[in-house]
């Protein structure tokens, strides 16, 4: 997908929930109508695509590493995410991602619900934080070292402010 980001913002209503489900690799297996409306992709277009189809280049990679580390370990995770619509416009969400299990207790995929985020938190805390993390990832070192450094920086920020990532997110 060669969608170029624009400065346009797409918004949605506080009573709307963007829902998706994925397989264990993050390929979309379900998308609700709100997801289609906000992202600008049809539900058919979203189906079977990797969830990174709506990845915004302003998102630091370490946030997704943290997300994947948590859910693959069987934990839930909450995160502020900037996404990119088919038009290149952006939309911020407050996401809750959980693992899904079959009747035998085997992990079979993931599920995410997203709501409108607190705009003050996005503007005052998340945008500056993600900007810093992106800078670390883009620094002189290779992509791998950049990710190791930004992931360490994110974990240090969490440790300096709260006892866990979720506690930090809910204290904002």
Ligand X SMILES: Cc1cc2nc3c(=O)[nH]c(=O)nc-3n(C[C@H](O)[C@H](O)[C@H](O)COP(=O)(O)O)c2cc1C
Strands (E), 18-106: 18-22, 28-31, 77-84, 90-101
Residue 51 in contact with ligand X, rule: CB under 6 A = yes
Contact positions with ligand X (CB under 6 A) in 99-128: 110-112
Residue 77 in contact with ligand X, rule: CB under 6 A = no
Nearer to ligand X, 58 or 132 (CB): 58
Nearer to ligand X, 81 or 89 (CB): 81
Nearer to ligand X, 30 or 157 (CB): 30
How far, in Å, CA of 83 to CA of 146, rounded? Answer: 22
CA dihedral defined by 49, 55, 60, 62, rounded to 10 degrees? -20
- Per the structure block, which two tokens stand in for 63? 């946030």
Residue 78 in contact with ligand X, rule: CB under 6 A = no
Closest separation between CB of residue 93 and ligand X, Å? 7
Contact positions with ligand X (CB under 6 A) in 11-40: 20, 22, 26
Nearer to ligand X, 83 or 150 (CB): 83
Q: Which range of residues in 7-15, 53-61, 122-130, 160-168 is near ligand X by CB under 6 A?
A: 53-61
DSSP per-residue codes, 90-136: EEEEEEEEEEEE-TTS-EEEEEEEEEPPPHHHIIIIIHHHHHHHHHH
Residue 66 in contact with ligand X, rule: CB under 6 A = no
Asked if residue 125 lies in contact with residue 94, where contact means CB atoms within 8 angstroms, the answer is no
Q: Which of 31, 38, 46, 54 binds ligand X (CB under 6 A)?
A: 54
CA dihedral defined by 98, 85, 115, 149, rounded to 10 degrees? 60
Residues at the site binding ligand X, with contacts judged by CB under 6 A: 20, 22, 26, 51-52, 54-55, 59, 61, 64, 81, 83, 97, 110-112
């Amino acid at each position: 997908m060669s969608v170029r980001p624009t400065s346009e913002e797409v918004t949605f209503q506080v009573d709307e929930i963007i829902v998706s489900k994925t397989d264990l690799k993050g390929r979309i297996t379900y998308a609700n109508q709100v997801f289609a409306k906000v992202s600008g992709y049809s539900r058919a277009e979203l189906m079977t695509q990797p969830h990174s189809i709506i990845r915004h280049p302003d998102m630091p990679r370490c946030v997704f590493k943290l997300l994947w580390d948590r859910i693959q370990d069987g934990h839930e995770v909450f995160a502020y995410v900037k996404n990119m619509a088919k038009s290149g416009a952006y939309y911020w969400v407050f996401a809750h991602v959980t693992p899904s299990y079959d009747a035998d207790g085997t992990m079979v995929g993931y599920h995410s619900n997203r709501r409108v985020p607190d705009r003050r938190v996005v503007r005052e805390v998340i945008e500056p934080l993600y900007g810093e993390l992106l800078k670390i990832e883009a620094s002189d070192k290779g992509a791998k070292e950049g990710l190791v450094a930004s992931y360490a920086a994110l974990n240090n920020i969490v440790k300096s402010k709260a006892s866990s990532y979720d506690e930090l997110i809910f204290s904002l």
